[in-house]
Amino acid sequence: MRDLLRFQPLYHERVWGGRALENLLGRRLPSNELIGESWEIVDRREAQSIVEGGALNGQSLHSILQRHGADVMGPKWPAAAPFPILVKWLDCRERLSLQVHPPAAVAAELGGQPKTENWYIAQTAPGAELIVGLKRGVTRAQFEAAVATNTVEECVHHFPVAAGDSILVHSGQVHAIDAGNLILEIQQNSDTTYRVYDWGRVGLDGQPRQLHLAQSLRSIDWTDFKPTPQRAAPTSGVIADSSEFCIRRVVLGAGERMHLRAGEQPRIVSVASGSVRVSSEGNGTRSPVGQKLVRGDNALAPYAGAFTFSAEQTTILLVTENFAG
């Protein structure tokens, strides 16, 4: 198991979605649908990534982990465990709902799962913002009153963003993505979201979407004021570091290379901009530089594989690691 694993995307229509994945990333989307999410790497009961290309073409990520878990994740990986990371593209044509994910301390009590996630802004419209955390000093009582009087915007922390910015959103942080953002979201493998407020919007069926106010109020961190994003930079460095995962931004000039050695840990490689050619090593030989990854692609580099990524132009890679325990 020394191949770089690539997967078929799973597209999801959302009331706030659009067609940016087609227009900006060159994807072929289902016609006449507002695609808000593309699940790039996922191992859940309700959604499975299927390998595209290579010796394991057509096999699910879950089945591969069951049969080749040690090669993909490392020798200590339990065969029954699901892949711990979920990777998504988000096309936010309209603002998403104000929401929160439950912290680990209360998730089991509420019947949900914690979710820490990182947003990398790949492209954004002029004036677009993110909402993460509370304005300084806002209390639970003030927030509840604002929900009842439709004045929630006065309680939450807004800030502008540009392409290349990112922010780590922890479980318990109230948050929303503003309209006009194309985002690569790398998160814990969880799909528990409590919707606090939906700006008076209706769903695709024309009905108001369900809110989860009691669960949200139980989950929100009432001490989380005005978190700051990581701003875009021309150099390599860590952009997210949590107990669940770490993400490195790797900036390569044309002709420069990034090497991943075998036997260290599994990693996810995401192309935020530019393109790379990939070669792999095995049994003392190196494969020719052939497989190409372009902007928008996400691939899983197994524990047992060694890979070299050669930039064809100025390229930004996001390398997600430290998720295998």
Distances (CA, A) of 291 to 45, 111, 257: 30, 42, 14
Distance between CA atoms of residues 276 and 251, nearest Å: 12
Residue 223 to residue 292: CA distance in whole angstroms: 45
- Measured in residues, the chain has a length of 325
Burial degree of 252 (CB within 10 A; 0-12, 13-18, 19+)? buried
Beta carbons of 227 and 167 less than 8 angstroms apart = yes
Nearest-CA neighbor of 83 among 43, 113, 52? 43
| Residue 177 to residue 132: CA distance in whole angstroms | 8
Q: Which of 17, 177, 317 is nearest to 27 (CA)?
A: 17
Question: Which tokens in the block code for residue 317?
Answer: 């890679």
CA distances from 105 to 37, 108, 220 (A): 28, 7, 12
| 37/294 Cα distance (integer angstroms) | 19
Q: How many Cα neighbours within 13 Å face the side chain of 7?
A: 28
Yes or no: say if 163 and 121 are a contact pair by the CB < 8 Å rule.
yes
What's phi and psi for 50, nearest 5 deg?
-115, 130
DSSP bridge pairs for 44: 47
Q: Establish whether 27 is a catalytic residue.
A: no
Q: Could you say which of 14, 93, 95, 195 is catalytic? A: 195
DSSP string, 213-231: HHHHHHH--TT-B---PBP
Nearest Cα neighbor of 310 from 283, 285, 288 is 288
Catalytic residue set? 195
